[in-house]
Structure 1
Amino acid sequence: MKVDMSLRRFVFAAVLWVSLAGPALAQGPATRPAGEIAAAATRPATCPAVFPASSPALRTDAPKTVDELRALEARVQAACKKGLAATVGVIAGGGQGSGVIISPDGYVLTAGHVSGAPNRDVTVILPDGRRVKARTLGANSGIDSGLVKIVEKGPFPFVELTKSSDLRPGMWCVAIGHPGGWRKDRPAVLRAGRILSATDRVITTDCTLVGGDSGGPLFDLDGRVIGIHSRIGPSTSLNMHVPVDSYVQTWERLAAGEAWGSGLFGQVLRPGPAMLGVTPADDERGARVEALTPDGPAQKAGLKPGDVITAVNGQKVANAQALFMLIAGMQVGQSAKVSVIRGGETLELTARLARRPGA
């Protein structure tokens, strides 16, 4: 038996179900004072404990034998079992998203564009289908983190957090969510994949996501949360997640019901067939490069994470959306003269656009 074929079958088997989903939840920009948050949603003294990841959970190698493949499969199954017990659906207004319970008293991590404005009444759907009342707390739109508190009496099933700063490219991970919204005829959907890149602002993976997955959890092989699904990249095999460290670092602001930051999240941008191969984020100077597609046009042209793209072929790039729109209007094989700021230096790099996977 060839191990690479077994690995391929394993990865395909891990993608249990994929569906098109409706638009993400509406977001509210208003900031609410902490005093407006319902008494039932008072914050704990500290953020839930963060556990260090074990060495096996950080493995970046592919299985070399059938036994190693079976061991990896067992780790994925164990992580899924833990994750499914705490992954929930979130209903707010006319839309649905996902979330994950991280404390027995019902604190739920989700995406900022899912939770929206603080002090909103929402419904959380538990894995057994039971619906409980909840309240939105804080949200950071600049990175797309959000916090929700179940206001009914617990305890609730929950999962632990681990340090997203320990992530490395190639590490195996598991994404869980409710694409298309919670459905009574199926549990949350599982997808296995690997870390493509990880910074303090964004994690990218090849775990296939669709719009309704927003707010769902990303797990390591220990079944501990490493990130929260945020948005879809230029292809379904390049998706972005909020690092769990950002929730820990801003816990007091989130739990106090504070809303801050600005950004464009939760939207599935419809790119054309051409691809530059960058994961951008808004920057006051243009579009900051958060990650690069391996061997993509941008990487081959010399762009690096942290570069700020200010123009393409002389056309100003005001933000990440502007960059997407410019590339969407270009052709496969076309040369793109990319103006970037790196440190205090301005560079002009030329990339030849490639065909986007699946286009």
Structure 2
Amino acid sequence: MKFLKPQLVWPLISGLLFAALLLQAFPSLTGQPAANQALAEIHASEPLLVARQEGPVSYASAVRMAAPAVVNIYTTKLVAQQTNPFMNDPFFRHFFGQESQPSQKRMQSSLGSGVLVSSEGYILTNHHVVNNADEIRVALRDGRETFAQIIGSDPESDLAVLKIELDNLPMISLASSDTLEVGDVVLAIGNPFGVGQTVTQGIISALGRNSLGINTYEDFIQTDAAINPGNSGGALVNPYGQLLGINTAIFTRSGGSQGIGFAIPSNLAKQIMLDLINEGFVVRGWMGIEVQELTPALAQSLQLDDAQGILVAGLLRGGPADKAGLKPGDVITQINNRKVEGARAAINYIAGLRPNTQVMFNISRKGREQALTATIGQRPTSPQR
């Protein structure tokens, strides 16, 4: 067997040791990431995970701030009831006559919630909670009870303002609903099923929900915080105890919460409340215009490049839109440099403008683009239902 000469062995050993040290210092030379490098990348990501999870582990302070201003509302009304059960059948009423049959009055009660928004005793709630009520009783969290009077009610937005006369009333502070984002944490406070004041927690699931067929004017916050019968008129608050909306409706197949609830945004509720207090009715912008959605088929028939905008289907002669020069067949693409997302959204936007303000319409007429300026009128008030 041949052996390497001593003078060759030591340089070889030195070379191997140098190579090992080099690979340890620069693991990328092997084509595989080193374990310690991978661990460094994992550790570097941890602060980001912590930052996304930051937030209170308890919402008790928010509840302490908001809950005293959330009230339970009990309403009663007198309804007529036939003493003869056969008189509920239209066939019998036709032959025997309804007037000749005796009837009796009975009290019908219902429940809901409300929110004290002023130390003077003004309460925001839903129109459907107090509609046609003969008597409205309000119970505070501190145990006090009193009767309330209706200051004003707006069925088209399903909001009402009540007033109570008590001293040292709690009140909730309002946050701007314009700052909301999908995913924000919210709390719903109300009186579900009459069990007493209850708090549920969830997130904002969507913003600007409309075309639901609930109200005439819809711009709902959607949330998965549990909202049940009796929660109507209650508060939707942020983790700081500030009011974000008035809980109004739920989508349900069972009668209970299924994770789809709707609340009226605080900014809209505030404006409607001020109108009801100061004017007795809600002041809304109006153009005297009838519009419809612009479908792809309709856009093609009008020789339009796309289906973005709404079609003017009709005008009230002498109305604001007519005076501004709008014509049936025009396609409105922008209002005040805002893209028109749909007919319902456009009507809601116009309704939110104050009368006598100027508004600019970008339209397409027979393939030609032009701009028109109109003066917003005041929408005629409709009778309350």
In the alignment, residue 247 of structure 1 is paired with which amino acid? A
Q: Tell me, which stretches of 5 or more residues in structure 2 are unaligned? A: 1-47, 77-108, 209-217, 284-289, 294-339, 345-362, 365-385
Asked if 1:138 is matched to 2:152, the reply is yes
Asked if 1:175 is matched to 2:197, the reply is no
Superposition pairs for residues 106-117 of structure 1, below 5 Å? Answer: 106-116=121-131
Aligned to 1:99: 114
What secondary structure sits across from 1:85 in the alignment? helix
What is the alpha-carbon distance in structure 2 between the residues aligned to residue 138 and residue 107 of structure 1? Answer: 11
What secondary structure sits across from 1:105 in the alignment? coil
Change beyond 3 A, Cα 1:286–1:110: farther
Aligned partners of 1:100 and 1:216 also within 8 Å: yes
Alpha-carbon displacement from aligned partner over 1:78-118 (angstroms, at most 9, x marks no partner) = 11111211111011111110011111121111112113259
What is the alpha-carbon distance in structure 2 between the residues aligned to residue 67 and residue 204 of structure 1? Answer: 22
Q: Note the C-alpha offset of 1:133.
A: 1.7
Aligned to 1:82: 65
Structure 1 residue corresponding to 2:273, chosen from 251, 256, 264? 251
Aligned partners of 1:116 and 1:136 also within 8 Å: no
Aligned to 1:356: none
What is the alpha-carbon distance in structure 2 between the residues aligned to residue 253 and residue 116 of structure 1? Answer: 18
What secondary structure sits across from 2:193 in the alignment? coil
Structure 1 residue corresponding to 2:57, chosen from 73, 97, 102? 73
- Number of aligned residue pairs: give it: 206
Aligned partners of 1:90 and 1:123 also within 8 Å: yes
Aligned to 1:43: none
Aligned partners of 1:173 and 1:218 also within 8 Å: yes
Aligned to 1:222: 240
**TM-score w.r.t. length of structure 1:** 0.50
Asked if 1:241 is matched to 2:263, the reply is yes
What secondary structure sits across from 2:230 in the alignment? helix
Structure 1 residue corresponding to 2:170, chosen from 154, 157, 160? 157
Aligned partners of 1:110 and 1:147 also within 8 Å: yes
What is the alpha-carbon distance in structure 2 between the residues aligned to residue 215 and residue 175 of structure 1? Answer: 10
In the alignment, residue 84 of structure 1 is paired with which amino acid? A
Asked if 1:192 is matched to 2:198, the reply is no
Aligned partners of 1:159 and 1:224 also within 8 Å: yes
Aligned partners of 2:177 and 2:267 also within 8 Å: yes
Structure 1 residue runs of 4 or more that deviate by more than 4 Å after TM superposition: 63-69, 284-287, 305-309
Aligned partners of 1:88 and 1:100 also within 8 Å: yes
What is the alpha-carbon distance in structure 2 between the residues aligned to residue 112 and residue 246 of structure 1? Answer: 15
Q: Note the C-alpha offset of 1:155.
A: 2.0
Asked if 1:213 is matched to 2:258, the reply is no
In the alignment, residue 123 of structure 1 is paired with which amino acid? R
**TM-score w.r.t. length of structure 2:** 0.47
In the alignment, residue 106 of structure 1 is paired with which amino acid? G
Q: Note the C-alpha offset of 1:252.
A: 3.3
What is the alpha-carbon distance in structure 2 between the residues aligned to residue 117 and residue 244 of structure 1? Answer: 25
Change beyond 3 A, Cα 1:89–1:172: same
Aligned to 1:203: 221
Change beyond 3 A, Cα 1:64–1:208: farther
Larger Rg: 2
| RCO higher in structure (CA 8 A, sep ≥6) | 1
> Which one has a larger percent helix, Structure 1 or Structure 2?
2
Superposition pairs for residues 243-322 of structure 1, below 5 Å? Answer: 243-256=265-278, 258=280, 307=342
Change beyond 3 A, Cα 1:232–1:197: same
Superposition pairs for residues 331-342 of structure 1, below 5 Å? Answer: none
What secondary structure sits across from 1:253 in the alignment? helix
Alpha-carbon displacement from aligned partner over 1:36-93 (angstroms, at most 9, x marks no partner) = xxxxxxxxxxxxxxxxxxxxxxxxxxx9449946x4223x221111121111101111
Q: Tell me, which stretches of 5 or more residues in structure 1 are unaligned? A: 1-62, 262-283, 288-304, 310-342, 345-359
Change beyond 3 A, Cα 1:254–1:121: farther
Aligned partners of 2:246 and 2:269 also within 8 Å: no
Q: Note the C-alpha offset of 1:285.
A: 7.5
Q: Which moved more, 1:170-179 or 1:196-205?
A: 196-205
What secondary structure sits across from 1:204 in the alignment? strand
What is the alpha-carbon distance in structure 2 between the residues aligned to residue 139 and residue 260 of structure 1? Answer: 9
What is the alpha-carbon distance in structure 1 between the residues aligned to residue 51 and residue 201 of structure 2? Answer: 18
What is the alpha-carbon distance in structure 2 between the residues aligned to residue 252 and residue 83 of structure 1? Answer: 21
Q: Note the C-alpha offset of 1:160.
A: 0.5
Q: Note the C-alpha offset of 1:258.
A: 3.5
In the alignment, residue 153 of structure 2 is paired with which amino acid? A
Aligned partners of 2:160 and 2:273 also within 8 Å: no
In the alignment, residue 157 of structure 1 is paired with which amino acid? P
RMSD: 3.4
Change beyond 3 A, Cα 1:153–1:129: closer
Aligned partners of 1:121 and 1:136 also within 8 Å: no
